[in-house]
Structure 1
Amino acid sequence: MTFAERLTRRRRYWAESGRYPHLLTTYNCWTVRAEVDGVLVGYVWGYLVSEDDAWAYIDDVGVHAAQQGRGVGRALIDEIVVWLRESGVEEITGLPTDERMARIFRHHLPTM
């Protein structure tokens, strides 16, 4: 199964599982993709938490194993942080799931 297929399956699971339906109906969700030669190699997704769109939560960052350690995750977070700040988001948070993600978050979100 390709990385893109796994991502599609994961998104379908969250959409159909009913575990977090509020994410699909209440929050303003966003996704940023990274591609190399037209092939999906990474993504970051999250959502706006507050009613006034001043607080965003980075929910997940995924990078294909062959691309890890090459700055893909960092570039994705760079892009989303700039976009969120330009959109007026004042607070960006997330819960890193591994040490690599924690390092990226500490670099971009030093208050975490």
Structure 2
Amino acid sequence: MQEPVQKSSTSLLPQTPCAQSVFTYPSRRRARRSRVRPRAAECLRNRWHTGHVDGQLAIRRAAAADYDAIIGVVDGWWGRPVTTALPRLFLEHFAHTSLIAERDGVLAGFLIGFVSPDDPRAAYIHFAGIDPDHRGTGLARDLYNRFIAAAKSDGREVIRAITSPNNVASIAFHKALGFDVGGPIMDYNGPHKDMVTFELHIPAWPQL
């Protein structure tokens, strides 16, 4: 399930060496127009870890303890109940391949994803969300960039995700990133639970 995110341009980079793996973002109120696309694969310290900037927005690997902070805000971010779509097990078992964005210790966004244990080619993004105050800054795109780059370094070739057919913002966001959009597929998640599918083939992705 994907957060309704505003379509945005590429993520912002501070003037620091790429090897430091540091990415900072203004809030929507402070967003700037000039943006530079990073080569994400070159800016990861390792497959699933990123950097930190004091006083700025920091992106790091998730931990099981992040679940309570996420589940405490997602209904408000979505404007409707969505907590049932994110059981605690995702943070208990897939934190290593998930990402947290924070500003001064306060949750600004997250991406919950994992590499498939059954399909050695695939990785999957289950749930991603951005605080409304940080939408339109490139943060959602950067979380995706980082996950895709890490999946590529793990030997994965395709990224998959799904969303509901009425989530037009998420569909537009994934199209803008280069995902192929399929469906809606009727009864994908059971009777009357139609879903739109997303698939990105990493070798053809122009951003890495």
Normalising by structure 1, what TM-score?
0.69
**Secondary structure of the corresponding residue to residue 92 of structure 1:** strand
Q: Which has the higher helix share?
A: 1
**Secondary structure of the corresponding residue to residue 70 of structure 1:** coil
Higher relative contact order (CA 8 A, sep 6+): 2
Cα deviations by residue, 1:38-94 (Å, 9 ceiling, x for unpaired) = 322001112222425321111111101111122111111111111111111111110
Q: Which runs of 5+ in 2 are unaligned?
A: 1-66, 73-82, 182-208
Q: For the aligned residues, what is the CA RMSD?
A: 2.9
Aligned residue in 2 for 1:106: 175
Measured in 1, the distance between the counterparts of 2:178 and 2:158 equals 9
In the TM superposition, 1:31-110 aligns within 5 A as: 31-97=98-164, 98-110=167-179
Change (3 A) 1:109 1:57: farther
Work out whether residues 96 and 105 of structure 1, in 8 Å CA contact, stay in contact via their aligned partners in 2: no
Normalising by structure 2, what TM-score?
0.40
Equivalent residue pairs, number: 100
Change (3 A) 1:38 1:66: same
What amino acid is aligned across from residue 174 of structure 2 in structure 1?
Answer: F
What is the identity percentage for the equivalent residue pairs of Structure 1 and Structure 2?
Answer: 21
Q: Which has the higher strand share?
A: 1
Work out whether residues 124 and 160 of structure 2, in 8 Å CA contact, stay in contact via their aligned partners in 1: yes
